[in-house]
Amino acid sequence: MKIFKSHRSNQLGLSMVELMVAMAIGLFLILGVTEIFFSNEKSYLFQQSQVGNQENSRFTLTVLEQELSKAGYRSLPTDLMTTAFPADSSLSGCTFVAGAAISVISNGFCMRYQTRNATDVDCQGKVATGTFTNNYTVAHPMITEKIAFDATTQTLTCITNLSTGTTTTPLTTGIAAMHFEFGYTTDATVRAVNAFSTTAPNGLIGAVRYAALINSTSTASLNVSSTNPILADWVTQYGAVANANDARIYQIAQSTVMLRNLMP
């Protein structure tokens, strides 16, 4: 009689070697999934920061173009610039000579214009009060605005004479730095801009050129070990940036607005 012995009693579980191999494979899988997760998260933050910067850039340029397009507007086209815009310094920080629609300040500019109609609003959304006509017989009320960059809050702000110069309204945020240049001509009979200056020019201002360094709120750079090229480009062109961070996403937005209302 043959007796068959079962080998099931020898299978008591995994060996130490098998267990260590399984743990090693599982560890590599976990590390791979974790790396993919963090990589996707960083890519998502990078893309979101880029989209945010692009939107902020467009909005900043739009706001400045919209306001500057009003500079020097006269409700009575027959009035001389010196008549429509006499010398004035009623808005704190803004000093205008007779005939000037733009006044240069250290961190921005002041501008003024006459309202087009009773629904025209300033950069704070306020409506001027006064006499309005459609037959070009009465000069409409004047609005004076001071548009300045606040480096501490990274905000482009606005103050107007309609709020007595005490209420500051943020126009756009997320701006790391701003640079303004003012185009002018020394010949009052010629409206062509032949030079730009960062300070108050000795001549009639006919254009405003500006650049904004937009930055993200998150540090989502894909390579934080090297110098940020956009930030480095800004520093080369316009100077140092307060609280600069190579890990942030930066974008430069720039434009030039010709003051087309300044006709003789």
Cβ(97)–Cβ(138) under 8 Å?
no
The token pair at 111 is: 């501008």
Residue range 18-23: mean pLDDT, rounded: 76
pTM of the model: 0.80
Residue 153 inside a domain? The answer is yes
| Nearest-angstrom CA–CA distance, 35 and 260 | 56
Burial call 110-141: b when 16+ CB within 10 Å, e when fewer: bbbbbbeeeebebbbeeebeeebeeeeeebbb
What are the C-alpha distances in Å from 129 to residues 92, 122, 145, 147, 168? 21, 12, 16, 22, 20
Residue 218 inside a domain? The answer is yes
Total structural domains in the chain?
A: 1
Residue 61 inside a domain? The answer is yes
Residue found by looking up tokens 């002041």 in the block: 110
Strands of 186-245, DSSP E: 195-197, 204-215
Q: What is the DSSP letter of 199?
A: S
Residue 37 inside a domain? The answer is no
Instruction: With a cut of 60, say whether residue 163 has pLDDT above it.
Output: yes
Residue 32 inside a domain? The answer is no
Residue range 95-119: mean pLDDT, rounded: 92
Residues 6+ apart with CB under 8 A from 55: none
Residue 127 inside a domain? The answer is yes
What is the predicted pLDDT for the residue at 43?
72
CA atoms within 13 A on the CB side of 81: 19
Residue 10 inside a domain? The answer is no
What is the predicted pLDDT for the residue at 145?
95
Cβ(222)–Cβ(46) under 8 Å?
yes
Instruction: With a cut of 90, say whether residue 227 has pLDDT above it.
Output: no
Domain that holds residue 76: 44-258
DSSP-derived secondary structure for 20-40:
HHHHHHHHHHHHHHHHHHHHH
Instruction: With a cut of 60, say whether residue 223 has pLDDT above it.
Output: no
The token pair at 210 is: 């500006």
Sign of the CA dihedral with 163 first, then 165, 167, and 173 last: positive
What is the predicted pLDDT for the residue at 70?
94
Instruction: With a cut of 80, say whether residue 236 has pLDDT above it.
Output: yes
Q: What confidence tier does 220 reach under pLDDT thresholds 50, 70, 90?
A: low
CA atoms within 13 A on the CB side of 161: 19
Alpha-helical runs (H) found in the chain: 16-68, 81-84, 229-238
Residue 235 inside a domain? The answer is yes
Q: What confidence tier does 190 reach under pLDDT thresholds 50, 70, 90?
A: low
